[in-house]
Amino acid sequence: MRRLTFAQVCARRLARQGLAGPLPGAAPADVAARLGGVHAQVLSAAELAVGLRLDGATRVDVRKALWTERSLVKTRGPRFTVHLLATADLPIWTGALSALPVRPLELLTEEQAEQVIAAIADALRDAELTTDELTEAVVARTGPWAGEPAMAAFQGWWPRWVEAMSLATRRGALCFGPNRGRLVTYTSPARWLPGFRPADGRTAAAEVLRRYLYAYGPATPGQVAQWLAAPKRWTTELFDSLADELEQVDVAGSPAWVLAGDTDAPDDPPRGVRLLPYFDAYPVNCFPRADVFPGRAAIRALAGGQAGNYPVLLVDGVVAGVWHQRRSGRRIDVTVESLAELTGPRLRELDEQVQRIGEVLEGTPRLTLGEVTVGPHA
C-alpha cells in the first residue's frame, strides 16, 4: 500500500488546484471544472478564487465567462449551495444532484411539484425573471394554489411553489441570471447550454466522485459525504460501486482512497503563502479538517466547525490565520491576522499575494498586519 504523509497530500492538492502556481493555459471555466465548482454565495469571493488560480486574470475575465461567453453558469452545486460551475459540466452536476436522496415535499403533492417544475421551465425558457415575476408566471401556468403563502421566510411567507425550487434546480429547470439592480433573477440553463439535459444519475455521481478524488484526494466516503452534504451510506455505496477504479492508500496512518494508479505526490514539501477568499474550495473541500486547520487555526478560522466563513491565510498548505478586505473606491485595505510569526521571505510572499489580489479585483491594495475584528460570514 502506498504511504503518504499529510505534507505530501497538501503538496499534491495545492498543485492540482492551481495554488502551487497558476493552472497552465487555463480559463475560468477550467478552474471551475477542476475544483468541482467555485462557491459563489459571495460572488466577488468567487471571482477572486478563480482569478488567483489563473495567470494574469481579473474579475472582468470571470464576469465575461459568466455573463457574455457563458462558459460559466451560476447555479447550485455541492451541498446545494450557490456555485459557479463550468457550463459544460451542467449535465454531470444536475444528474449527480438529482441522484442524491432528498426529503419528501411537505407542501406540494408529487403531481403539484411536477406542474411547478414544468411551469418554471416554460416561464424561463427565454426570460430572466425576478422571484416575484416567476411567482406570477408559475401561478398563471398552474393555479392560485401555487401562490399561497405557505413557507416561512425571513420576514414573512414564501409562496407554496418555492418548495419545488430545489427540485427544479436539480432537474436543470433553472439557474441564476444576472442581477437586476439588487434583485436576483432566474433563467434557463438551456440558454447557457442549448439542448442541455441532465446525465444519468449514477453515471454522473460516479464522475463527480472521480473528479473530487483527483483534486482533493485521498479521501474517505465520510469526507465525500460532508463535501456533498449527502448521507454517508449513499457515498459508501458510491465508493463500493467504483471499487475496481479506486485504490486504498495510507495517509499518516489512516486509510483513504484515490483513483487507481493515481498515487503520485510531489517529493518536495508544500511551500508558499496564499490568501484565500470566503468559501474557497481548498479549505472547505479538503480533509481531514483537523489537519487542514491545525491547532489554534481550528478555533480562529472555523465558525462552529464550519469552514469557509472566514477568508484564510494559507502557509505551506495549512491554515495559519485569517484576513479581511475593505474596499473604498479603488483602494483595498487588506488586514492579515497570522497565528505565527512570518519571517522576511514569508512577508515578501504575503505582499505578493496582496498585490495579486489587487490585480484580480482591479484595485490598489494596502497591507496591514493585525487583528481581524470582522466576524464570520453567515
Provide mean pLDDT across the span 82-100.
97
Over residues 327-342, mean pLDDT: 96
Output the CA torsion 289→295→299→305 (10° steps). Answer: 20
Percent above pLDDT 70 for the chain: 100
The answer to whether 59 and 51 have CB atoms below 8 angstroms apart is yes
CA 148 to centroid of chain Cα atoms: 33
Q: Are 126 and 177 in contact (CB under 8 A)?
A: no
Residues, the chain: 378
Q: Sorting pLDDT into bands at 50, 70 and 90, what band is 235?
A: very high
Cα–Cα distances (Å) from 2 to 17, 35, 264, 293, in that order, read: 22, 25, 9, 25
- Report how far residue 59's alpha carbon sits from residue 42's, in angstroms, rounded to the nearest whole number: 13
Does the pLDDT value for residue 153 go beyond 90?
A: no
pLDDT of residue 155: 79
pLDDT at res. 111: 97
Grid cell at residue 268: 518536495
Q: Is 12 left (phi over 0), alpha (psi -120 to 50) or beta?
A: alpha
Domain boundaries, given as residue ranges, for the chain: 3-95+198-259, 104-187, 273-369
Mean pLDDT across 75-92: 97
Determine the average pLDDT of the residues in 137-147: 97
Question: Percentage of the chain surpassing pLDDT 90?
Answer: 97
CB distance 99 to 205 below 8 Å: yes
Residue 152: pLDDT above 90? no
**Over residues 90-96, mean pLDDT:** 97
Question: Is residue 172 scored above 90 in pLDDT?
Answer: yes
The residues, any chain, with a CB within 8 Å of residue 306's CB and separated by 6 or more, are: none
**pTM here?**
0.96
- Predicted local distance difference test score (pLDDT) of residue 158: 94
Q: What is the pLDDT of residues 173-228, one digit of tens each?
A: 999 999 999 999 999 999 999 999 999 999 999 999 999 999 999 999 999 999 99
Q: Report the alpha-carbon distance of residue 50 to residue 56 in Å, rounded.
A: 11
